[in-house]
Every structure is written in structure tokens, then in C-alpha cells.
């Protein structure tokens, strides 16, 4: 596995770029960041993962915008996640740490994402962490799945998580039929899945976690970015339904970024054999921990 090391990847609302910030400090630059996502690598990464991260962060910063404000983050090492460096800085919007590590060997969990801190004003993430399984990186890349997995995990880091949507009262249905109830997502779902008879957007029901499982229901959605597995032949499209979700939780959204998508469930001739699991890829912080912004927008 060929590896490279990159310290920072900074994405601005209208600009995609990889910027070497010139700091060897584990806490990174102090303040001054004005973009939407600040990605900081905590380990060696492969060139393929670096490329996928750049593309994913570029798409998400084109699709979503939100001035969350400035946050004073002062955390000792390992207080949010294992391997977290000490953080003592004023940061703007989302800070996302990314690393490659051994999770569970090849073919099971592909990645893990956790949201460590939320804005007390917007209930949107300001500090997240994603770990990719070292054993799966080459096979994901070879099967053409890596880009979709990176996009998926970054969606969790940005707020496709129950700490945001459950806290905002945008879910329900219990264990048997969990759903997301945001108005925009429901409207987009009705446009592209008119055959479905439910009244809201169905969340995954395979693990018995109710609305706390932050994935769309794969038996309904079929091939879509936020279902809980990947497989050969899946394209993992970013649908307007998922973008509607992000509008419902508080982002400004550019719907022109959405991929073509219709709600077509897996059955008959289009059944796909899962090759990698995202079913347990989100690690919930319970209860969510909040930080207040320093200056009003």
C-alpha cells in the first residue's frame, strides 16, 4: 500500500484546494480559518484516499454552506477519540480529523465516524473524526467503492447523525418503522419515490435502533449514498433527498449538486451482494456535547 502524509486539507465554500499550512503543531493553525470544512490528517494516507477526500470535500462544500461561527475548542489529548491530539484554538465551522488505522481486518467495517462536539446554536457538528480501515483501503479502491465511502462518512461528519436530527425533533417511528420527518427531504422523497406508501422518509430498520440508525432504509432506497453498505456495481448517488435532509437540519443547500436518482429498491434482477458494511460506521456520543459560538453571526 503506497502512503503519503498530508497535514491539512482546507475547503472553502466556493474553492477546492489542498493547502500545506506550514505548521508542525499537532493542534494546527490558530484561528483565521474561514471555510466550510477543515480536514486534518492524523496518520499516513494513501494517494487514492487523499484524492477521494479532496473530491468529497469539494462536493460537500459546493452542496452545503453554513456560517456556524467561531468556537473556542480546548480539549486534552484523547478526550474525544483515541489518537486525538490536544486542541487549543479558536476554530471556524467544522474541524474534521481523518486517519487510517486497523479496525477489524478486511471485509467488515470499512470506516468509523464520530461527532465529538455540536454547536449549541445550530445543533450542527463542529468537531468530528473519521477512521478508515487500513485493511480495506486497497480493496475499496480496486472495486470502485472508495469515493462513495468517503462521501458517506463525510456526510455523517457534517450532521447526518442522530445527535443532530433526533435532537432537532426530526425523527420518529420507533424501532419497527423509524423515519426522518424533515419537510424538504419528504418533499424530495415524494418526487422520486411516489410508489412508497409511508408518510415520511424511512430510516434503516435492520438493527433495531429505531431513529438512532443514521442511514436510509436500504430495502426502500436501493442504491443511494446513505444506505448502510457498499457493493460492486453500486454507484452511491448523492440524491436530492439526502440534500433535502441537510436543508432540514439547517444548511443552505445547492440542489444542482445532486446526482440523478430514483427510489428503486433492491429486488429481483437488481439485487446487489454487499461487499462492505457501513452498518456500524457511526459512533454516537451520548448525550451530545455542545459548544457555544463566540460571536453572533
Residue 15 has pLDDT above 50, yes or no: no
pLDDT digits (tens, 9 = 90+) for 64-104: 999 999 999 999 999 999 999 999 999 999 999 999 999 98
Containing 60, the helix (H) or strand (E) segment is: helix 47-63
Topology match between the domains 8-159 and 165-277: no
Residue 187 has pLDDT above 90, yes or no: yes
pLDDT digits (tens, 9 = 90+) for 95-143: 999 999 999 888 788 999 999 999 999 999 999 999 999 999 999 999 9
Instruction: Please report which confidence band the pLDDT of residue 276 belongs to, taking 50, 70 and 90 as the band edges.
Output: confident
- Contact status, residue 161 vs residue 203, Cβ threshold 8 Å: no
DSSP letter for each residue of 189-220:
HHHH-TT---SSEEBP-SSS-GGGS-SB-HHH
Residue 156 has pLDDT above 60, yes or no: yes
CATH architecture of 8-159: Roll (3.10)
Instruction: Please report which confidence band the pLDDT of residue 12 belongs to, taking 50, 70 and 90 as the band edges.
Output: very low
- Prediction pTM value: 0.88
Can you give the residue ranges of every domain in the chain?
8-159, 165-277
What angle do helix axes 146-158 and 47-63 make, rounded to 10 degrees?
A: 50
CA 184 distance to own-chain centroid: 19
Residue 238 CB-density burial (10 A; 0-12 exposed, 13-18 middle, 19+ buried) = buried
pLDDT mean across residues, the chain: 86
Residue-level pLDDT at 284 = 78
Instruction: Please report which confidence band the pLDDT of residue 235 belongs to, taking 50, 70 and 90 as the band edges.
Output: very high
In this prediction, what percent of the chain has a pLDDT beyond 90? 72
Mean pLDDT on 9-16? 41
pLDDT digits (tens, 9 = 90+) for 241-265: 999 999 999 999 999 999 999 999 8
Instruction: Please report which confidence band the pLDDT of residue 18 belongs to, taking 50, 70 and 90 as the band edges.
Output: very low
| CATH code linked to domain 165-277 | 3.90.132.10
Among residues 91, 117, 60, 56, which one has the least CA distance to residue 246? Answer: 60
Residue 203 half-sphere exposure, CB side, CA atoms within 13 Å? Answer: 29
Amino acid at each position: 500500500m503506497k502512503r503519503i502524509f498530508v497535514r491539512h486539507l482546507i475547503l472553502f465554500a466556493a474553492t477546492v484546494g489542498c493547502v500545506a499550512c506550514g505548521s508542525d503543531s499537532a493542534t494546527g493553525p490558530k484561528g483565521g480559518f474561514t471555510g466550510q470544512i477543515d480536514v486534518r490528517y492524523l496518520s499516513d494516507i494513501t494517494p487514492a484516499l487523499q484524492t477521494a477526500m479532496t473530491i468529497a470535500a469539494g462536493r460537500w462544500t459546493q452542496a452545503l454552506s453554513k456560517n456556524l461561527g467561531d468556537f473556542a475548542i480546548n480539549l486534552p489529548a484523547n478526550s474525544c477519540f483515541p489518537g486525538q491530539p490536544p486542541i487549543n484554538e479558536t476554530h471556524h465551522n467544522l474541524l474534521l480529523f481523518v486517519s487510517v488505522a486497523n479496525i477489524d481486518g478486511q471485509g467488515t467495517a470499512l470506516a468509523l465516524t464520530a461527532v465529538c462536539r455540536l454547536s449549541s446554536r445550530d445543533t450542527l457538528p463542529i468537531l468530528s473524526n473519521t477512521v478508515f480501515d487500513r485493511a480495506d483501503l486497497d480493496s475499496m479502491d480496486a472495486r470502485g467503492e472508495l469515493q462513495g465511502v468517503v462521501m458517506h462518512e463525510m456526510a455523517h461528519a457534517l450532521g447526518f447523525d442522530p445527535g443532530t436530527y433526533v435532537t432537532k425533533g426530526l425523527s420518529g417511528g420507533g424501532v419497527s418503522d423509524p423515519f426522518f420527518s424533515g419537510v424538504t427531504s419528504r418533499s424530495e422523497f415524494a418526487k422520486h419515490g411516489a410508489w412508497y406508501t409511508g408518510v415520511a422518509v424511512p430510516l434503516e430498520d435492520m438493527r433495531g435502533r429505531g431513529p438512532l440508525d443514521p442511514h436510509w432504509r436500504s430495502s426502500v432506497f436501493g442504491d443511494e449514498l446513505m444506505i448502510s453498505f457498499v457493493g460492486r456495481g453500486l454507484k452511491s448517488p448523492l440524491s436530492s433527498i439526502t440534500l433535502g435532509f441537510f436543508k432540514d437540519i439547517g444548511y443552505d443547500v445547492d440542489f444542482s449538486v445532486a446526482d440523478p436518482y430514483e427510489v428503486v429498491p433492491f429486488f429481483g434482477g437488481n439485487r446487489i451482494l454487499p461487499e462492505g458494511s457501513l452498518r456500524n460506521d457511526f459512533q454516537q456520543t451520548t448525550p451530545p456535547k455542545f459548544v457555544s459560538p463566540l460571536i453572533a453571526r
